[in-house]
Chain A
Amino acid sequence: MNRSITIILLCAALPLVGCDSTRAPSFQLSEQSEGLSSFAREKVQGELNAGFGSPADLVVWSELEVDFGQYSGNVKKVSTKAGMLRIGEQSDDDETATDDKEPVYDGLAAVSGLASARRLSELQGAAVVISRAQPKSAAEAESDDGEESAAVTQTPQVYRVASYDVAKQELHVVDADGDPAQMDVSAGDSVQILGSALQHGRNLYLRHCMHCHGVSGDGAGPTAQYFKVKPRDYRHGIIKFTSTKASVLKPSNKDIFRIIKLGVPGTYMPSFMLLPDDEVKLITEYVRWLAMRGEMERKLNAWLVTSYSQEAVDEADSASELQADFDTEWSEDAGDNIERFGNDLKLDWQDADKPESVVNPTVPRTPSSSESIVRGRKIFLSKEAKCASCHGETARGNGPSTEAFNDLPGKPPGTKSDKPGLFDNWGNIVKPRNLTTGVFRGGRRPIDIYRRIHSGIKGTPMQAFGTTLKEEQIWDVVNYVLSIPFEEKQGGH
């Protein structure tokens, strides 16, 4: 009797416990960082927190090549009520008119562009940066010096958006502790709202993508474990199907946009065709940002892992001496290195969006004919292209390389796999595409196949043939590849 009462009481208490919803989502360190010594790991974690924050508290690091979302304007009028800004379209003409209509302001700022932002409800949590206006005389005096005058402002005040009332156009602002902000503002101060796009992107990402790609973009979300083809781990900064040249490391914005819109046929990545374009763009920015966070971690790792791994600590004569060395090196080099890493990231990602980084053939596609297809097949089997060594002579993705011990990509040359097969940069076995099925993961347009051949598939053993093959030759291979699914079945195949 007592036992059943206990069970009933325990069951009744279950709703109180809930499903552990109190645990805040957090970005996980990669497995690599787990190999670092505890003191180095702490610094890496600290650096990532400073540059990127946590999922609930994103950081706008303006060095990065990301559209964080920004609205700016000036304070129009000051009020006494704490933590509230009234905003609207900035217009010099109607300033007096607005004053007449609403003599009592709860808040104070007119932020241009904000009222036209598409989803103001998504502003919550975005940073509000208020910078003091310069005294007029000073500004005028310095205006001759051009841009320098902008640098001589006071430290800006940073708050967060608590909520936004679209109807009343009221922006409620809180400080770091979540209390209504006591702002020190006066008319003319500039107001910026930062990070709204990143936050909106995060919200969409958590809704649509996180369950496979994971909170940190590590491709290990809760549903990922059921998949044979693993979701992309963005943290390497590599996306397989890009329109960019082989020498360009990153995908362009459009590449990611297209993958989200159309999905990747033959994998578990579904199409998000019906999501509005602007939402897909926000997700694209967030995915790029997650990739940059992962890359930053990898760069820090690559710098520290040789000297300060856990292994090194275990082998060291004196752990405290090693830690002292680390502290010295960190205090001397960390600033420069992090700046350099950030700059590298910026340049790499900027590169990918330049028009000249995109593979665009200059010769139009050779019309598909049996001659072109035969030429393509010859190249496919040739020693120069060696397509058949992976894809197989019948293009079923069963070439001899799939049974060999190959070099691991992304590792120093000569690093062999311990299992036979072809590996990608993420350490998974990849099968060369079976070209007879008519399913093309990176798209089925001739230009898609052309780019696959021209710049390879990044992060995989699929090489770039843009330099070894002429444009006409690539088109012949494209024609051959597109014809394979419709080949007459021959005896012996």
Chain B
Amino acid sequence: MNKFWPIFFMFWPILAIVSFVIAPSMNWWFPGPAMSPLGQQIDNLFYLILVIVAVTFVGTHVAMGYALWRGVDNKGQKAWFSHGSHNLEILWSIAPAGVLMFISLYQLDVWMEFRVKSHFPEGTTPVAEVTARQFEWRIRYPAPGKKLMTTPQADDLYSVNDLHVPYGRPVSIRLRSMDVQHAFFIPELRVKQDAVPGTVIPVWFEASKPGEYDLACAELCGWGHYKMRGRILAENETGFERYMETLQAEQNFDGVTQPEHSGAQIAEYGIEDSQ
């Protein structure tokens, strides 16, 4: 019975460690591997911090468990009174401060690359303006072959909830909000950025593989927050260009002139009226 409390207190940290160890295999971990170079760097930072924290956590708990366990039997022995020890105070102030300083300096490059426009990777192309609104993502692309302008242009192309981007190179969006705060979140690319009304925030990302990525709103924005599901479709250059041309044909459709490309987009809507 004497050992009950040491065992009780040690059970929880062990449970914590076990659940961390089995988490990836139980699918309690990240939403898949990072699908972008920056996402990989962010994951690496996460793992670095996880290792630091894990070593500290395990170390303190082993020490505490040992002390508890030993204390059960040595009732006669007097404890060492360490309160007020100047050396110890200095040690446990400087060591964590050093660790924190290391982390904050070490992550600075990734942070700058992610958030500071002048440090965006070279060749980052603005592909679209994404305007969050309750409860959807409205997207404005420049016409094929043109640059994205800061104000709407007559030949801009529009879409909603469905952002197409080329993969394998960095692209950026102009993130805006029409009403309240939203957050542009692509879990698989490890991109999360609040959309703030009144500001335009550039966000860049790069999908390393073609495919569909979820786009979610990560800021509770109202009762329909859960409805703000979108998707990022990363395609190769030809696929992306064809999509833009299809979108252009769709958007200029006058009911008479047949669109040159009757591609995926029009078929997907199932909405073309004249056969």
Q: A274-B229, A274-B231, A277-B268 are in contact. Are A446 and B138 (CB under 8 A)?
A: no
Cβ A271 vs Cβ B136 within 8 A: yes
Chain B residues with CB below 8 A from A243, complex form: 273
Chain B residues with CB below 8 A from A486, complex form: 152-154
Chain A residues with CB below 8 A from B231, complex form: 274
* Binary CB contact string for chain A from 431 to 467 against chain B (1 if under 8 A, 0 otherwise): 0000000100000111100100000000000000000
Cβ A254 vs Cβ B270 within 8 A: yes
Closest to A360 in B: B255
Max chain B C-beta neighbours (<10 A), residue from A270, A368, A450, A483: A270
Q: How far is the CA of A22 from the CA of B254 in the complex (A)?
A: 52
Q: A254-B273, A273-B160 are in contact. Are A364 and B254 (CB under 8 A)?
A: yes
Chain A residues with CB below 8 A from B162, complex form: 273-274
Give the residues from 179 to 238 in chain B that come closer than 8 angstroms, CB to CB, to chain A.
Answer: 223-224, 227, 229-231
Give the residues from 115 to 147 in chain B that come closer than 8 angstroms, CB to CB, to chain A.
Answer: 134-136, 138
Q: How far is the CA of A397 from the CA of B106 in the complex (A)?
A: 56
Chain B residues with CB below 8 A from A446, complex form: 252-254
Chain B residues with CB below 8 A from A268, complex form: 134
Q: A268-B134, A271-B161 are in contact. Are A363 and B269 (CB under 8 A)?
A: no
CB of A180 closer than 8 Å to a CB of B: no
Q: A270-B135, A445-B253 are in contact. Are A257 and B270 (CB under 8 A)?
A: yes
Closest to B250 in A: A445
Closest to B137 in A: A271
Max chain A C-beta neighbours (<10 A), residue from B255, B257, B273: B255
CB of B251 closer than 8 Å to a CB of A: yes
Chain A residues with CB below 8 A from B229, complex form: 274
* Binary CB contact string for chain A from 353 to 388 against chain B (1 if under 8 A, 0 otherwise): 000001111111100100000000000000000000
Chain B residues with CB below 8 A from A483, complex form: 154
User: Of B257, B269, B274, which is within 8 A of A258 by CB?
Assistant: B269
Cβ B251 vs Cβ A273 within 8 A: no
Cβ B154 vs Cβ A482 within 8 A: yes
CB of A223 closer than 8 Å to a CB of B: yes
CB of B271 closer than 8 Å to a CB of A: yes
Chain B residues with CB below 8 A from A258, complex form: 269, 271
| Of A259-267, A322-330, A338-346, A400-408, the one with at least 4 CB within 8 A of chain B | A259-267
CB of A55 closer than 8 Å to a CB of B: no
Chain B residues with CB below 8 A from A438, complex form: 152
User: Of A261, A274, A368, A447, which is within 8 A of B253 by CB?
Assistant: A447
Q: How far is the CA of A277 from the CA of B271 in the complex (A)?
A: 11
Closest to A280 in B: B270
CB of B69 closer than 8 Å to a CB of A: no
CB of A53 closer than 8 Å to a CB of B: no
Q: A265-B138, A450-B255, A483-B154 are in contact. Are A271 and B160 (CB under 8 A)?
A: yes
Q: A263-B136, A277-B270 are in contact. Are A361 and B154 (CB under 8 A)?
A: no
CB of B256 closer than 8 Å to a CB of A: yes
Chain B residues with CB below 8 A from A69, complex form: none
CB of A35 closer than 8 Å to a CB of B: no
Cβ A360 vs Cβ B273 within 8 A: yes
- Distance from A215 Cβ to chain B, minimum over Cβ atoms (Å): 17
Chain B residues with CB below 8 A from A261, complex form: 269, 271
| Interface residue SS majority, chain B | loop
Chain A residues with CB below 8 A from B227, complex form: 208, 270
User: Of A265, A273, A358, A475, which is within 8 A of B273 by CB?
Assistant: A358
Chain A residues with CB below 8 A from B253, complex form: 445-447
Closest to B268 in A: A277
Q: How far is the CA of A353 from the CA of B230 in the complex (A)?
A: 31
Q: How far is the CA of A270 from the CA of B223 in the complex (A)?
A: 13
CB of A188 closer than 8 Å to a CB of B: no
Say which size band chain A's interface belongs to: 35 or more
- Distance from B69 Cβ to chain A, minimum over Cβ atoms (Å): 41
CB of B114 closer than 8 Å to a CB of A: no
CB of B240 closer than 8 Å to a CB of A: no
Max chain B C-beta neighbours (<10 A), residue from A262, A273, A450, A475: A273
* Binary CB contact string for chain A from 472 to 484 against chain B (1 if under 8 A, 0 otherwise): 0001000000110
Chain B residues with CB below 8 A from A450, complex form: 254-255
- Distance from A448 Cβ to chain B, minimum over Cβ atoms (Å): 9
Q: How far is the CA of A15 from the CA of B252 in the complex (A)?
A: 57
Cβ A274 vs Cβ B256 within 8 A: no
- Distance from B228 Cβ to chain A, minimum over Cβ atoms (Å): 8
Closest to B162 in A: A273
Chain A residues with CB below 8 A from B251, complex form: 444-445
Chain B residues with CB below 8 A from A254, complex form: 270-271, 273
Q: How far is the CA of A486 from the CA of B152 in the complex (A)?
A: 8
Q: How far is the CA of A270 from the CA of B136 in the complex (A)?
A: 6
Q: How far is the CA of A211 from the CA of B223 in the complex (A)?
A: 10
Cβ B158 vs Cβ A444 within 8 A: yes
Q: How far is the CA of A137 from the CA of B95 in the complex (A)?
A: 98
Closest to B251 in A: A445
- Distance from A373 Cβ to chain B, minimum over Cβ atoms (Å): 11
Cβ A360 vs Cβ B274 within 8 A: yes
Give the residues from 246 to 295 in chain A that come closer than 8 angstroms, CB to CB, to chain B.
Answer: 254, 257-258, 261-263, 265, 268, 270-271, 273-274, 277
Cβ B254 vs Cβ A447 within 8 A: yes
Closest to A439 in B: B138
Give the residues from 83 to 118 in chain B that come closer than 8 angstroms, CB to CB, to chain A.
Answer: none
User: Of B224, B268, B273, which is within 8 A of A270 by CB?
Assistant: B224
Give the residues from 155 to 185 in chain B that come closer than 8 angstroms, CB to CB, to chain A.
Answer: 158, 160-162
Q: How far is the CA of A243 from the CA of B271 in the complex (A)?
A: 11
Q: How far is the CA of A402 from the CA of B146 in the complex (A)?
A: 40
Cβ A360 vs Cβ B160 within 8 A: no
Cβ B257 vs Cβ A365 within 8 A: yes
Q: How far is the CA of A216 from the CA of B51 in the complex (A)?
A: 57
Cβ B161 vs Cβ A273 within 8 A: yes
**A-B CB proximity, top 5 nearest:** A365-B254, A364-B256, A273-B161, A447-B255, A271-B160
Q: Which residues of chain A have a CB within 8 Å of any CB of chain B?
A: 208, 211, 223, 243, 254, 257-258, 261-263, 265, 268, 270-271, 273-274, 277, 358-365, 368, 438, 444-447, 450, 475, 482-483, 485-486
- Given contact pairs A262-B160, A450-B255, a sample of 9 additional A-B residue pairs in the complex whose CB atoms are under 8 Å apart: A254-B273, A257-B270, A360-B273, A438-B152, A444-B158, A445-B250, A445-B251, A445-B254, A447-B273
Residue contacts A-B, CB under 8 angstroms, 27 given: A208-B227, A223-B224, A254-B271, A258-B271, A262-B160, A265-B138, A270-B135, A271-B136, A271-B161, A273-B160, A274-B161, A274-B231, A277-B268, A277-B270, A358-B273, A359-B255, A360-B255, A360-B256, A360-B273, A368-B154, A444-B251, A445-B251, A445-B254, A446-B254, A447-B254, A483-B154, A486-B154
Q: Which residues of chain B have a CB within 8 Å of any CB of chain A?
A: 134-136, 138, 152-154, 158, 160-162, 223-224, 227, 229-231, 250-257, 268-271, 273-274
